[in-house]
Structures are given as structure tokens and as C-alpha cells.
A and B are shown apart, each in its own frame.
Chain A
Amino acid sequence: GAGVSQTPSNKVTEKGKYVELRCDPISGHTALYWYRQSLGQGPEFLIYFQGTGAADDSGLPNDRFFAVRPEGSVSTLKIQRTERGDSAVYLCASSSRGTTGSDEQFFGPGTRLTVL
């Protein structure tokens, strides 16, 4: 596809359940980022992948959150034992990981997660 895609676009779950959110980056982009945007806030960084490995996971709020990118393309963000406070829009971005210029991060439309 031409841009970053995320599925599902909306996810409603019950407190305590497990959810998976998927991100398809722009083809050929080696860098992939996950952010979380709560209502009325700016996006907050969660985790950054360079290829298959998590280069920086300092933004993950606790051990209920985990993300993988096994083949260096599609990534899945996994949330265990969801809590109401996890309700937010989860954004994925990818970049070509160039070493010059701004290395623009291209954002997907997000997955809106609602935990009841």
C-alpha cells in the first residue's frame, strides 16, 4: 500500500481481556514506531523497532504491553489484562531510517481502543 495501515480501526474490549493491534508499515521502511494518544493529549512514544529488534522500548508503561516485529515488516502491539486506562488511540509510524535529513515518520490512521 501507499501508506501505513493499521487494523482494526476500532477495538472495543472488556477489562481484563487480551488485545492485539496490527501495523503494516510502508514497504521498505526499516524503522517502526508505536505511540499512544489519549483524549486531548499529544501522542506518547511507546516503542521503536529497527528491523526485527526493539531498539528502544522505554515508553512501554508496564509489562502488560509487548510488541513484536518478527520479519522486520508488520508489527503487532499486544496488551494483556487490559485496563480502562488503556483506552486511547494507538498510532503506528514508519520511516526509512535514513541517516540524513529529518527521516520523516509517516503515521497510520490509528486504532481506537476502548476498554469497558
Chain B
Amino acid sequence: GEDVEQSLFLSVREGDSSVINCTYTDSSSTYLYWYKQEPGAGLQLLTYIFSNMDMKQDQRLTVLLNKKDKHLSLRIADTQTGDSAIYFCAESMGPGYALNFGKGTSLLVTP
């Protein structure tokens, strides 16, 4: 499928904000997602944004979408050690379509 690119690693101090970035190439993407993967656990959907939105906020999570630049970001406020995981950006054309994932960003939160 089309490319979804993410930086591979991010390290932050506990209490700081984390920003994970993603770029995608498929202009027909309708939904953009952020998934979290912890060791030994399944992929967990954190949040998603529809392509006609610019921003979505859900508690400590803020998603920003720049459709013109095909750039998506996930901001985690007040990052905790429990937020350490791999975060995947994914895009799809909507219900019933496969998810196209990036390679994931490994977030390390240090005390």
C-alpha cells in the first residue's frame, strides 16, 4: 500500500508532553488512527480522526491533522511511565477497509 512514515524512537521525561509525528501519502485516506502496542498485549486503538477534521482532543491525547501536508501528530500531555509503548499511525479508507500501518514509534518515558 501507500507509505506511512514515522520516526522510530522518542524519549521524554515523566510529566513532559510527547509529540509523535506521522506522514502519509494516500490522499484517499478517510480515517487516520493512532494505535498503542505494549509488550505481550494486542494493539489498542487510542484515538482516530476523520479526514475532514483538523484536531481532536480526548483527555490527555490531542490529534492534529494537516491534510494539505498529509501530516498527523499525536500529543500526549503529562506523559507517564505507563505510556511507554510503541505507537502506530495507520490510515484507511473507512469501515471495511484494511488498515495501512507505519513502522511504529517506540516511546520511552523516563522518571
Which residue numbers of A lie inside 8 Å of B, CB to CB? 3-4, 31, 33, 35, 40-45, 48, 50, 55-56, 59, 91, 93, 95, 97-110
Contacts and interface: CB of A to CB of B under 8 A. Distances in A.
B40 A104 contact: no
Nearest to B45: A104
Query: How big is chain B's contact interface, by range?
Result: 20 to 34
Nearest to A103: B95
Contact of A102 (B44, B48, B100): B48
Contacts of B15: none
Given A42-B103, A45-B100, A98 B43 contact: no
Given A42-B101, A102-B48, A107 B95 contact: no
Given A42-B102, A42-B104, A45-B100, A103 B94 contact: yes
Nearest to A3: B42
26 contacts: A4-B42, A35-B99, A41-B103, A42-B90, A42-B104, A43-B43, A43-B101, A45-B1, A45-B100, A55-B96, A59-B98, A95-B95, A99-B95, A101-B95, A102-B33, A102-B48, A103-B94, A103-B95, A103-B96, A106-B45, A107-B42, A107-B44, A108-B42, A109-B40, A109-B42, A110-B42
A100 B95 CA distance: 8
A75 B99 CA distance: 19
B3 to A, nearest CB: 11
A40 B100 contact: no
Contacts of A106: 42, 45
Interface in B36-64: 40-45, 48, 50
Nearest to A44: B101
A4 to B, nearest CB: 7
A104 B98 CA distance: 11
